[in-house]
Structure 1
Amino acid sequence: MKQIVYPIKDSVVLEQVQDCLLNSFEMGRRNYTIFQVGKATLLRVSDVLRLKYSDVFDENGKVKDDAYIHDRKTGKPNTLYLEPVKDDLLKYKKWLYAHEIHSVYLFPNRYTGTRVNEKQFYKIMHKVGELLGINYLGTHTMRKTGAYRVYIQSGYNIGLVMDLLNHSSQSMTLHYLGLDTESKRNMLNKINFG
């Protein structure tokens, strides 16, 4: 049976998930930073985990303004604006240095130096869900959560969210955001139709 993954809409729950990622695992800083980068860039987990250190940090160790990649699923070029996660990335870089973890990949497996793969990150998110009693967490949680936050905080700018997710229709994006009938009704109830 396929698990249904939703965005984290509640800020308190989001803080709990982030805290759990950071503090409940040996590689907590890495796990937390994966989540933060995925949430801020709206990348698919496969693209986040394929990021290389040199995609994000320049030769002086500073966070680049933008990272340039090709989406694995679509093959299209994608520019990632890194300012929203700059502080997280700098803390992560210090953590890597302190733990003497070196890899070409931004998010390496501590013991092999290869990148964390999607299955490993799914297990991490599943464990977080178990620890917090949340049954809708998965590898797409960070992308969906980032998209939902952009949607809400941009004043429901569906066009912006569609562009960031590289979706071709509003209905696809609304479904992705988990805006079911009840959510739509709640939003419509707040509108003054005069």
Structure 2
Amino acid sequence: MAQQIILPIKDSNVLKMVQDTLLDSFRAGRRNYTVFQVGKATLLRVSDVMTLKKSDVYNPDGSVKNTAFIHDKKTGKANTLYLNPVQQDLLQYHDWLVQENINSEWLFPSTAHHNRHITEKHFYKVMAHVGDLLDINYLGTHT
């Protein structure tokens, strides 16, 4: 099989369509959208986004921290994440988790198994599905 080409989204209209599709075309749309937004804002690898814990991002009262401190899985380096650009998304996502009665230590839990986070493979499938729906062939987890 040919290597799939994954490209960044350079067009703001395409970006908006991808965001809307992530939000509206899945049962866990709010989660999928927030994964995308956090990845876009922090420029983390998807493997690092998936393994964020709720406590990395939220204060005990549910408010969003200004910064999160994580260790990059691949390089082991400490990394500071500035969460201000996605504060609103994270607040809406927190409300969604509460509404859905999803209680997990993971920021992005699997909807089937709350004790596990969603996998890169699963999110890749989500992005591929968005690509299919929008007839865009270059979406992937690095988009």
Determine if the TM-score, normalized by the shorter chain, exceeds 0.5. Answer: yes
Q: Equivalents in 1 of 2:120, 2:32: separation in Å? A: 12
Q: 1:58 matched to which residue of 2?
A: 59
Mapping 1:94-133, distance limit 5 Å: 94-113=95-114, 114-133=116-135
Query: Aligned partners of 2:51, 2:37: CA distance in 1, in Å?
Result: 15
- The AA in structure 2 aligned to 1:130 is D
Unaligned runs of 5+ in 2: none
Instruction: Compute the displacement of 1:3 (Å).
Output: 1.2
What is aligned with 2:34? Answer: 33
> Matched residue pairs, number?
141
Structure 1 counterpart of 2:21:
20
Q: Could you tell me the TM-score, scaled by structure 2's length?
A: 0.97
Provide the C-alpha distance between the structure 2 equivalents of 1:41 and 1:2, rounded to a whole number of angstroms.
Answer: 26
Provide the C-alpha distance between the structure 1 equivalents of 2:60 and 2:24, rounded to a whole number of angstroms: 30
User: Which residue, out of 139, 142, 160, partners 2:141?
Assistant: 139
Matches within 5 A, 1:43-192: 43-113=44-114, 114-141=116-143
Per the normalisation by structure 1, the TM-score is 0.72
Q: Distance in 2 between matches of 1:73 and 1:133?
A: 32
| Partner Cα distance (1:103, 1:3) in 2 | 33
The residue type equivalent to 1:118 in the other structure is E
State the identity as a percent.
Answer: 62
1 CA distance for matches of 2:75 and 2:3? 23
Deviation at 1:138, TM superposition (A): 0.2
Mark the structure with the bigger radius of gyration: 1
Give distance in 2, aligned partners of 1:59 and 1:93: 12
Identify the structure with the greater helix proportion: 1
Superposition deviation, residue 71 in structure 1:
0.5
RMSD: 0.5
1:33 Cα offset (Å)? 0.2
Amino acid at match of 2:34: T
Runs of 5+ unmatched residues, structure 1: 142-194
